[in-house]
Structure 1
């Protein structure tokens, strides 16, 4: 397994991490992702460790805490072997202070996560989204105290717009506070928006990116094919909750090339799609998901080889997205 620095830090992480959004499935939204119990989760953790993947990504909102609790059980006796990333800021209850990035909420959220994970520290703590109702200084001063207390090792930002991330970095620098060292965001062959605003910022500031949903909400699993009926539960244009729309023809064009390259490399379509992401120098880590052992092992085989220059060019060309304003000014 290849290891890279986690963004602007000295922490070495594997280029793949296991996402635990499938753990639990104890509410309607996350049931769609999976219903992995403690026994199966423990097996997935063990397989990951055997293959050099010691990094596990979760969030307090995943199954309203049950994902963290199951991961905590699955790593019992192995805490010194693993790295854990978790997140807060999304709604965790009915009260007005049970969401956001206020000092009140994230202190409580961190303590709750530590209890569920049965640990006394978090390796990487993310703000899951930007909270426009809380002063950035309040959030960053609180995170700084969490790091100095030893409860958190590193901090990161997830799903921030470029200006929100840059302003946060500036506030940290101005006030000599801990900085976000890593960004976690959506990026895939059918979702390349990341490249237009966020990627240049990541390069400029020396951060790195952890990619979530590398298979575009399951649309790049190989189960969707041109001129074939959709498998049950799969969508093309964006019927999945939270999934950005993708034009059918664009999706099929990308899938056609993925299928060609999968045949050439003797790899699967998902393996090719994940390998493409890892060729981007701003990507430190790709979060893979798995409902079972077979899916996990297949996704782990996305590494240890590289697409060649011609294959990368074909994928880049077929998945190209027209730049948004002002990025097209002077480009034509």
Structure 2
């Protein structure tokens, strides 16, 4: 397992992160603990959860794992959680206000059975709460020793940049990470969000790097999913829904991933994970698995790096063909600067 820092912080983490959204929902406690054991055995150190995962049960499962394992093992784990969304019907029970975040973090620490969490993330932007209130609250958590670092999830480029510069103006602790959706299927963040993160020195923690399972090769063109898969059980599931994502571009990307996988005699999941993990500014890629077997497949990407020709082929297949302005050819020409 290779290691990188969380952005400009000095905290080192494994280049693959164990995501735990399945814990308590699609994976029972025994399977969840087995995933944590296998991840740690493989050298994995970053574990990511959130208060809303299985209505808090994911955090409780992780907390019981921490309590049941020796300190020599758990001390290596860099634990991340999130707060922002509603856990109850209280009108103040959601958002990034000082009131809600304070209660949310205390509740997360209680479920985890810990005094401190390494990385606390605002799960999404809050258009109601003043950003200054949110940042001062997060800085207060750092000063109180409740968290060591903080970051954001699902922020746009302008939201991220505004937060970074406001923290600097206030002379308080700034964010170290951003957790966006990112994969060969979802590259739009490269237009504004990735440049904003790189400019600020933030590390990216991509979620859904396999596009909800599409890039693992489990689905076939013109064959509606069925059986024990996420889309087989719910074809209309969120952003990865069959009708929404089953486009010509998606199938072209899947074909390109399959060609690389076959040439290397490895799984398609390994190829897709290696591609996103080596993108600029990525600190650690979040793996999501229902079973230990799925996790084993994903972990094989821990030390995998694609060569230049393979990367170029995948880049070409997944190109977004942006409109000429501001992200396409004319936009690039406007921003270019030739010297000589």
> Do these two structures clear the TM 0.5 threshold for a shared fold by scoring above it?
yes
Post-superposition shift, 1:37? 2.2
Pick from 44, 55, 58 the counterpart of residue 53 of structure 1. Answer: 44
Q: For the residues of structure 2 that align with 1:40 and 1:228, how far apart are their CA atoms?
A: 30
Matched, 1:82 2:81: no
How far apart, in 1, do the equivalents of 2:259 and 2:98 lie?
Answer: 51
Report the Cα distance in structure 1 between the residues aligned to 2:12 and 2:258, rounded to whole angstroms.
Answer: 33
Summarize the alignment of residues 105-124 of structure 1 with structure 2, pairs less than 5 Å apart.
105-124=100-119
CA shift for structure 1 position 247: 4.9
C-alpha contact (below 8 Å) 1:125/1:155 kept by paired residues: yes
1:134 to 119, 125, 129: 129
* Residue 235 (structure 1) shift: 4.8
Residue 330 of structure 1 aligns with which residue? 331
The correspondence for 1:239, drawn from 236, 247, 250, is 236
Per-residue deviation, 1:288 = 0.2
Deviation of 1:225 after TM superposition, in Å, equals 2.4
- The Cα shift of 1:234 comes to 5.4
Distance in 2 separating the partners of 1:256 and 1:45: 32
SS at match of 2:36: helix
Unaligned runs of 5+ in 1: 26-33
Give the distance between the partners of 2:121 and 2:136, measured in 1 at CA: 14
2:158 to 134, 156, 163: 163
Provide the residue aligned with 1:104 in structure 2: 99
- Give 1:105 deviation, angstroms: 0.1
Match among 53, 57, 69 for residue 66 of structure 1? 57
Alpha-carbon deviation of 1:228?
4.4
Counterpart position of 1:10:
10
- 1:208 aligned residue: 203
* Aligned residue pair count: 322
Q: Deviations over 1:37-75 (max 9, x none)?
A: 222222111111110002110000111111100111122
Give the helix-richer structure, 1 or 2: 2
- Matches of 2:258 and 2:195 in 1, distance apart? 30
Q: Counterpart in 2 of 1:38? A: 29
Query: For residues 158-185 of structure 1, what are the alpha-carbon distances to aligned partners after superposition, in whole Å with 9 as ceiling and x for unaligned?
Result: 0011111111111100010111111001
**RMSD, matched Cα:** 1.7
Render the CA deviation track for 1:74-103: whole Å, top value 9, x for unaligned: 222343231110000011111111100000
Deviation of 1:330 (Å): 3.4
Which residue is 1:265 aligned to? 264
From the superposition, tell whether residues 248 and 235 of structure 1 become closer, same or farther in structure 2 (CA, over 3 Å). farther
Counterpart in the other structure of 1:28: none
Compute the TM-score of the two structures, normalised by the length of structure 1.
Answer: 0.93
Query: Which structure 2 residues correspond to residues 188-203 of structure 1 after superposition, within 5 A?
Result: 188-203=183-198
Q: Secondary structure at the match of 1:148?
A: helix
CA distance in 2, matches of 1:331, 1:9: 32
